[in-house]
Structures are given as structure tokens and as C-alpha cells.
Amino acid sequence: MNDIRGRFSKPLDKSAVTYTSSLPIDWRLYKHDITGSIAHARMLAKQGIISDDEAKTITGGLESIRDEIEQGKFEFKSEFEDIHMAIESRLIEKVGEVGGKLHTARSRNDQIALDMRLFTKEAISKTVDGLKELQRALVDKAEANMNVVVPGYTHLQAAQPVLLAHHLLAYFWMLRRDVERFGDCLKGVDVMPLGSGALAGVAYDVDRDFLARELGFSQVTRNSLDAVSDRDFVLEYIASASISMMHLSRLAEEIVLWSSAEFDFIELDDAYATPSSIMPQKKNPDVAELARGKTGTVYGHLMALLTTMKALPLAYNRDMQEDKQGLFDTVDTLLSTLKVFTGMIKTMRIRKENTIKAVERGYILATDLADYLVRKGETFRNAHDIVGRLVKYAAEKGKSFTELNLDEYKKFSSLFSEDIYSITIESSIAARDVTGGTSLKQVKRALAEAKKLV
């Protein structure tokens, strides 16, 4: 390959070569780089900038290089600073000087912008697939446990009874918003930058619309300066991934709590838990714990790229080389977390006997008692105070609501009568028969809707 350091009198220092090289990271873009280069070669031939034979030679060489990389036969030489130069150098080795024509009407600036968009489009597709697989696992687990009741919590204090299916579907809807968010992200990335050159456009009669069609983009960029310096689409992916990881981290926290001896609502399959190195009885929810930890790493990638981009003048600056590692790791982290969570949810066992015990402990029907008094004509604020004092009395006596006799109830309000004993866990669940509520009827309706969405 011809030396592109023509105006320089000495080679780059070896330490500088190592420092500036992105090849150990951006080699992952080889497929996208070759795809873009093949489309570019075809466009050059279509426009008469190179001949059809030259385009065929270049295209054949690029396809051969792709095979070499995928077969593990390609040598990633340390002297090349990125995947683009490595592929171009190998192309010239294989097809001769005609390979040097590939870079006509193109800069590495718009080339890398294209590669990153192609990579991100692919990542979004895989991410949405992963989100939907986890959604299906949640729907299946909810449907298989339709009649299981668990305590619903606020402030991690037992508050009101809810169906477990209702609780699991809360995460379904979080993931649904993630799917929609990545759909919005796709709109931002689905713009073709090739033809922008280094910053000012190219001085050739290129057909950018042809390139967009060849590469599956819905439109082309409108400003060459913006096209080569834009990484909003990377930020949007990482930001969307950060929110998604936050949702998964919340689910992870509940899995950690629910699998503990103190809750004992679920048992994780052995394939998704680990033993202790010294305590034989332990079954640690390491997968869930790692997801919580990895969430912070993804947040860090978002802040790092925001900081990198915050003060860059137009157009391209080498700082932007730092966009890849954070994006790649974010994609890998999110996809792997979605996959492992899907398996973990599918295989976890619900301990129904323990969830109902937890519901029966304490005074989880207190709100239902207050609602009972309201239906008898009391104001809610007064009813709240009455039931609060009733709870205090029952706790001091060491009695549950069902163990209090009617005379004890009437000490707090004359509105209490025998029908107070008709308030049960089942009646509490059934009473929440509003859209989005936890009644069996509403949860069945929500499950039907969820199934259609995935």
C-alpha cells in the first residue's frame, strides 16, 4: 500500500502508533466496512468514476477479505491504525493498484460514520429481539402463576396484596417502553452519511440515494459537517441501553430479595446461581447481582461519551475514536444480560406456599378496611385514622384482623358489622377491577394484550 504520510519526513513513533491505533477495538466493524465499501464501489462504477471491471475486481477482493477474516486467516497487522486501513491494505495486496481506487470520493470520516451507523442498526435489531424474548418469558411465567398472590410493597414494606402475574407484567411494560425507545433510536441512526467526504462533501458526481438504497437507509444526511461529526445515534443507543439496564437492575434486585431466606418467594435454577467457596448451604444469585453491577458500567459509557463530545468543534476530531469501546461494550452487556435473564426467569420456581404466608402476615388488608368504612359513609381521612388505631390495638394484642371479635372492632367505629369478616385477600384482589389493576379479570386482559405485542 502506498504510504499516506507523504508530507511527513519520518514515520510515526512506535509508542504513538500503539497509542493511536483503534484496530484492537474496531476490527469488529469489518463486516460493516466491507458492506459499505462494496456499495461504494458499485456506485463509483454506476456513475462512471471507475469501470465496471474495476468495480468487480474490487468487490471480489473485498468479499475474499471478508472470508479471510471470518475463517481466522486475516492478519491484523499492528502497523495499521484501524480496520479501514487494514482492509484497504489487504485489498491492494490482493488485486493490485486498482484497489487504491476504492477510496475515490470517500474519506475515512464518512466511512467510519457509515460503519458505526450500520453497526448500530444491527445492534438495535438484536436488542429489540432480546427484549421481546425476555418479555415472552415474563408473560409465560405470569400466565403459569395466575392465582399466586404476593405482597405488593412501597418503601419495601408490605402494602397491599397483588397477583404475582400483575407484578411480573410491570416489568413487561418497562421492557415495552425500551422496545419503543430503541425504535425511536433507529429513526435517528437510519440516515446514510457516505458522500460527505472529510467534511465538505466530495468533488465527484456521486449518487448518494443509490448508496442509501443499497445499504438499507431510508434517507441521506443533509449536512456534510454534521454527518461526519455526529455521534448522537451512539449516545441515543447507550442512553436507551442505560434505561433498559436500569429496568433489569430493578428486576435483579427483586430476584436477589425474593430468593433470600427472609423472603423465599422463588428458587433460582441451579444453572443461574453459584455456591459459596466456604459455606456449603449458600445458593447465591450472582447473575442478578452482576446485572446490578454492570448497569453502572453502562451508565459510565454514557457519561464518558457525553464528556468526549461536549466541546468538540466541527467537524471530525480524533477524540471521537473513543466512541467505539463504550458502544461495543454497552451492546455486549445489554444483549448478554437480556439473554441470561430470559433463561433465569424461564427456569425460576415460585414458592407459592411462602408467598401466601407473607401476604397473611401483618395487616396488609388495612386499606380494604378503610375502604369498607368509606362505603358505610365515613370520610376516607377519618377511616384512615380509625384503621390506624385499630392496627395499633391489634398489634399490641398480638392479634390479626380475623382474630379480633366484633366488639373489639366496634370500639373504634360503630360502622363495623359482621360483614367485616367478608374482607379477605381474595376480595381485596377482586376489588381492584380497574384498567391496569390487579384483579384477575384485569390481569387476564393485560396478559392477552401483552401476548399480542410480542
**E-only strand ranges, 78-138:** none
How confident is the model at residue 4, as a pLDDT? 65
Condensed to tens digits (0 to 9), the pLDDT of residues 93-119 reads 999 999 999 999 999 999 999 999 999
Condensed to tens digits (0 to 9), the pLDDT of residues 40-56 reads 999 999 999 999 999 99
How confident is the model at residue 93, as a pLDDT? 96
Report domain 362-453's class: mainly alpha
d(CA 184, CA 181): 5
**Domain segments of the chain: what residues?**
14-104, 109-357, 362-453
d(CA 370, CA 382): 9
Statement: residue 11 has pLDDT above 90:
no
d(CA 427, CA 67): 65
Superfamily in which the 109-357 domain is placed by CATH: Fumarase/aspartase (Central domain) (1.20.200.10)
**Residue 78: pLDDT band by 50, 70, 90 thresholds?**
confident
CATH number of 14-104: 1.10.275.10
What are the cell numbers at 145? 402463576
Query: Cβ(296)–Cβ(287) under 8 Å?
Result: no
Statement: residue 2 has pLDDT above 50:
no
Condensed to tens digits (0 to 9), the pLDDT of residues 257-268 reads 999 999 999 999
H helices present in 310-410, as ranges: 323-347, 352-360, 366-375, 380-397, 406-410
Catalytic residue among 51, 78, 260, 276: 276
The residue whose grid cell reads 467534511 is 199
What are the cell numbers at 96? 493490485
Mean pLDDT, to the nearest integer, of 361-376?
Answer: 96
Domains 109-357 and 362-453 share a fold: no
**Residue 5: pLDDT band by 50, 70, 90 thresholds?**
low
Dihedrals phi, psi of 55, to nearest 5 degrees? -65, -40
Known catalytic residue at 166: no
Instruction: Return the closest-CA partner of residue 195 out of 182, 204, 187.
Output: 204
Query: Cβ(41)–Cβ(58) under 8 Å?
Result: yes
Mean pLDDT, to the nearest integer, of 326-351?
Answer: 98
How confident is the model at residue 1, as a pLDDT? 39
Mean pLDDT, to the nearest integer, of 10-16?
Answer: 87
Known catalytic residue at 155: yes
How confident is the model at residue 251, as a pLDDT? 98
- How many CA atoms lie less than 13 Å away from 190 in the CB half-sphere? 13
Statement: residue 416 has pLDDT above 80:
yes
How confident is the model at residue 276, as a pLDDT? 83
Determine if the peptide bond prior to 315 is cis (ω within 30°): yes
Percent of the chain with pLDDT strictly greater than 70: 99
Mean pLDDT, to the nearest integer, of 168-172?
Answer: 98
- 127's CB contacts (< 8 A; 6+ apart) are 182, 241, 244, 331, 334, 335, 338
Rama region for 377: left / alpha / beta (φ>0; ψ in -120 to 50; rest): left
Condensed to tens digits (0 to 9), the pLDDT of residues 180-237 reads 999 999 999 999 999 999 999 999 999 999 999 999 999 999 999 999 999 999 999 9
